[in-house]
Amino acid sequence: MDRLGEFQAKRIDLDATTKTYHLPGWKKKNDSARLRALREIAMKGGRDPDIATLAVNIVRDAGAQPRDYKGQATALLAWTQTQIYYINEPGERLQDPVYTLKVKYGDCDDMAILLASFYEACRLPWRYVLSGRTREGKLVRWVEGTPSKAARWSHIYVIVGWPPYTPKTWLYAEPTLKGVPLGWDVVGATKSGGKVALPELGGGVQDSTLQRAPMMVQRRGPEKPLAKHVVSIVAERLHPRNLIPVLIVGIITGAISTQISKKLKK
């Protein structure tokens, strides 16, 4: 069992590069505890040198200057919107940001975790944001760290602030919709336009991460496709240095069998 925030996570190894974690007791925890688990995933991702290097390359290629925090936040949001394919899941899982970068797809929680890890890598303050509906059907949002609200949450995104250390400006960051700018908020857009900006907020029964116990998919170690992994194992076992002991044992065993047979014939 591994520790993930306040949860004991059961790990299942799929192959040399992919691990899946089941988070039992998810439903018994409150929303704050669940978000703390998601925060831990993003903060660990933000400290991954590979993610940090990618984040720096993204902001540099976008032309954002050092200490242009809004430009950096905008570039990382636009990259996530365009490079990660948003897809609904038949059952809930949480993806490590490195795994999301590997497969280049995910749902709202996977994309929010990835974007948060980018912001963490650049030391941009960030928080998760949940949106959903109250029992009466009212559309609401809840920002991590503020007093909790009672609602059925069906969407998660991010709010990012600057400057680092003492943020004075905070803007919403929606990674699942291509082209929406930094500062666009799904709740505000739905209220002002009169139409539901995302189908997740349509008011029906949702199957969200914050309600169901998810599986967490995490990639670790060098990438090696399963087929290549199997081939490498077979090749290793067929290597001459491994075959020689087998041949020696076979010769000795054969000689002993021959002597036993001769004795039995006498």
Residues 213 and 252 grouped into a single domain: no
Question: What's 199's domain CATH number?
Answer: 3.10.620.30
Please tell me the predicted confidence (pLDDT) of residue 194: 67
Cβ-contact 22, 43 below 8 angstroms: no
Q: Which residue has the higher pLDDT, 32 or 248?
A: 32
Supply the pTM of this predicted model: 0.75
Tokens linked to 221:
């170690």
Lowest mean pLDDT: which of 56-65, 127-136, 157-166, 212-221? 212-221
Residues 243 and 171 grouped into a single domain: no
Residues 254 and 131 grouped into a single domain: no
Residues 162 and 44 grouped into a single domain: yes
Residues 180 and 245 grouped into a single domain: no
Please tell me the predicted confidence (pLDDT) of residue 24: 75
Residue with token string 């590997």:
102
What is the rounded distance in angstroms from the CA atom of residue 63 to the CA atom of residue 70? 12
Please tell me the predicted confidence (pLDDT) of residue 60: 96
Residues 85 and 11 grouped into a single domain: yes
Residues 147 and 231 grouped into a single domain: no
Residues 234 and 199 grouped into a single domain: no
Q: Which residue has the higher pLDDT, 224 or 108?
A: 108
Residues 148 and 81 grouped into a single domain: yes
Query: Using one digit for the tens of pLDDT, what is the confidence trace for 93-136?
Result: 788 999 999 999 999 999 999 999 999 999 999 999 999 999 88
Number of domains in the chain: 2
Tell me the DSSP string of 216-244: EEEE-SS---HHHHHHHHHHHHTSHHHHH
Average pLDDT on 198-205 reads: 67
Cβ-contact 75, 182 below 8 angstroms: no
- pLDDT more than 70, % of the chain: 68
Lowest mean pLDDT: which of 24-38, 73-87, 152-166? 24-38
Residues 174 and 234 grouped into a single domain: no
Residues 212 and 231 grouped into a single domain: no
The one-character DSSP state at 203 is S
Domain carrying residue 243: 226-265
Q: Describe the strand order of the beta sheet including 93-95 as a list of residue ranges.
A: 2-4, 7-13, 18-22, 215-219, 93-95
Average pLDDT on 237-263 reads: 54
Residue 85 bridge partners (DSSP): 105
Residues 190 and 234 grouped into a single domain: no
